[in-house]
Amino acid sequence: MIYIIGTAHVIDIKDRVKEVIRTTKPDAVAVELDEERYQKLMYSKSSKRNPQEFIASLYGARAGDDMRGGIEGAREVNAELYLIDEDIRGVYRKIDSIKEKRGDTIRRVLNNFPQIFKLGSPYMKALLQSLGTLFSKGKKKALEALMDFFINDFEKNPERYRELPRLFSPALYQILINDREEHMVKKIREIRSKHERIVVITGLAHLYGLKNLLKDLEVSWITTSELREDDKI
């Protein structure tokens, strides 16, 4: 059995991830990291100047605590740890190789504007509502409400969240989403050939893509919302 957890990197769910690992007792744990990001996550000091770190601090967490939960959970149950994401340096090289004139990007956005507006309108509404919360309840409550909206809405409408960035830059979307998901799936299949019980921790944004690519395997899917509910584990 494979258990795949889709997480938000900036909320306090580290202990919940570890609880899933303790409960399922996997032979292997796989996390959405490469070696370079693993080293930075585990051994570098965090900075609240980083937007993810700032948001995470409002939740009493650190950015990447979901992955730390996976790493620490693997150690607790003596499971083998695997890093399944694409090498970040290779990702940057592919991004640098994109050859697109600014005018082409602008024309594509203008051509797709009606669809972009339709897909993006719920987010604009949520942002405007968060401004009201900011003035009435403060920064922490406003960001919490906004994050909760995005998490819940993404789980209900993952196709919309994936389509919107694709309309802006298909090439960038291919590199950041499709290529990385295909790489992770390849790694998951390799791990599955060695181990019976596996827990995978990945960003919620990739859960939908992985579902489509792993239809032939027995997988239990756990969303961020389910992870935050005590009775779902």
- pLDDT tens per residue across span 17-57: 999 999 999 999 999 999 999 999 888 776 555 555 555 55
Residue 232 or residue 144, greater confidence = 144
pLDDT value for 54 = 52
pLDDT value for 51 = 54
- How confident is the model over 196-203, as a mean pLDDT? 96
- Give percent above pLDDT 90 in the chain: 45
Q: What is the CATH number of domain 2-98+169-232?
A: 3.40.50
For residue 205 the two structure tokens come to 């944004």
Confidence tier at 127 by pLDDT (50, 70, 90): low
pLDDT value for 154 = 76
- How confident is the model over 200-225, as a mean pLDDT? 92
Whether residue 159 has pLDDT greater than 70: yes
Distance CA(147)–CA(160), nearest Å, equals: 17
Whether residue 69 has pLDDT greater than 70: yes
Distance CA(141)–CA(131), nearest Å, equals: 10
Rounded to 10°, the helix 158-168/113-137 angle is: 120
Confidence tier at 151 by pLDDT (50, 70, 90): confident
Using a CB cutoff of 8 Å and minimum separation of 24, what contacts does 96-105 make?
A: 98/169, 98/171, 98/172, 98/175, 100/169, 100/171, 105/168, 105/169
pLDDT value for 160 = 76
Q: Render pLDDT for 101-124 as a digit per residue (tens, 0 to 9).
A: 666 667 776 776 677 666 666 666
- Give percent above pLDDT 70 in the chain: 72
Instruction: From 33, 36, 44, 45, select the one nearest 71 (Cα to Cα).
Output: 33
Whether residue 84 has pLDDT greater than 70: yes
Where do the domains of the chain lie?
Answer: 2-98+169-232
Confidence tier at 98 by pLDDT (50, 70, 90): confident
Q: Render pLDDT for 209-219 as a digit per residue (tens, 0 to 9).
A: 999 999 999 99
pTM for the model: 0.79
Residue 188 or residue 124, greater confidence = 188
pLDDT value for 231 = 45
